[in-house]
């Protein structure tokens, strides 16, 4: 399988806490992206980090990328109940196709 | 702009029936893709297209056909539905393939009985 792994598979935290999700992939990449999926809905793009970047921020999101370890992490700071969703990493190599990880289900309790 | 529109939202098929899942985008994107999502499996690529008239297979293409006659539309055909094709199907489009962000439709939940 070309899929990598995300961990944890599920994460439950309290509002205000930080949430960290990790992603590992298996191939050389052009970029890595993170998406969010609310229950029963389509995926929404959150952030894209290129292979020559190590860290990127967007609002309460911080993404890191370590190409030597073929891994990435997504940090959501000061989480809110509305952040409850599944989060997926996806990566693209030289053939421009996007491959997705299996996702992390985040539950933020009020 | 509507973005990516998928129809229908829900469908129940009997084994052996055929159907077409529709996908249309109004962003003039060259790249379009079909994924299926199964519990615990993430999204797996079925077929993709890099422009009108050009399609290619993804990770799980068996049992599915596609065509791309226009930039806007990318239908997915199930020729003879099987219970293993019970899944949620997502269509996506992007400006630059995997190099740029993808925009997703709301999905079609298909049950094959």
What does the pLDDT profile of chain A (110 residues) look like in tens digits?
456 788 899 999 999 999 999 999 999 999 999 999 998 899 999 999 999 999 999 999 999 999 999 999 999 999 999 999 999 999 998 777 899 999 999 999 99
pLDDT digits (tens, 9 = 90+) for B45-61: 999 999 999 999 999 99
- Contact of B27 with chain A, judged by CB distance below 8 Å, is answered with no
* Region at A67 (left for phi over 0; alpha for psi -120 to 50; beta for the rest): alpha
Whole-angstrom Cα distance, residue B59 to residue B33? 12
Interface touch A102/B40, C-beta < 8 Å: yes
Cα–Cα distance, B34 to B88 (Å, whole number): 11
**pLDDT recorded at residue A3:** 60
Contact B42 A102 (CB under 8 A): yes
- Closest to A98 (Cβ–Cβ): which among B50, B98, B105? B98
């Amino acid at each position: 399988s070309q899929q990598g792994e995300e961990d944890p598979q599920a994460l439950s935290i309290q509002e205000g806490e930080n949430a960290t999700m990790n992603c590992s992939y298996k191939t050389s990449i052009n970029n890595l992206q993170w998406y969010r999926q609310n229950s029963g809905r389509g995926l929404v793009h959150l952030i894209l980090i290129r292979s020559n970047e190590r860290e990127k921020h967007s609002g309460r999101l911080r993404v890191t990328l370590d190409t030597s370890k073929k891994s990435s992490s997504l940090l959501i700071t000061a989480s809110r109940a509305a952040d409850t969703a599944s989060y997926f990493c996806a990566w693209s190599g030289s053939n421009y196709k996007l491959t997705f990880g299996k996702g992390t289900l985040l539950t933020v309790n009020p | 702009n509507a973005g990516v529109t998928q129809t229908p939202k829900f469908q129940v098929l009997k084994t052996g029936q055929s159907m077409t899942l529709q996908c249309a985008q109004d962003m003039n994107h060259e790249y379009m893709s079909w994924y299926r999502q199964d519990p615990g499996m993430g999204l797996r690529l079925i077929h993709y297209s890099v422009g009108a008239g050009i399609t290619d297979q993804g990770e799980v293409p068996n049992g599915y056909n596609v065509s791309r006659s226009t930039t806007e539309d990318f239908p997915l055909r199930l020729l003879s539905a099987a219970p293993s094709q019970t899944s949620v199907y997502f269509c996506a489009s992007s400006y630059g393939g995997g190099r740029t962000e993808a925009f997703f439709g709301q999905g079609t939940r298909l049950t094959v009985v």
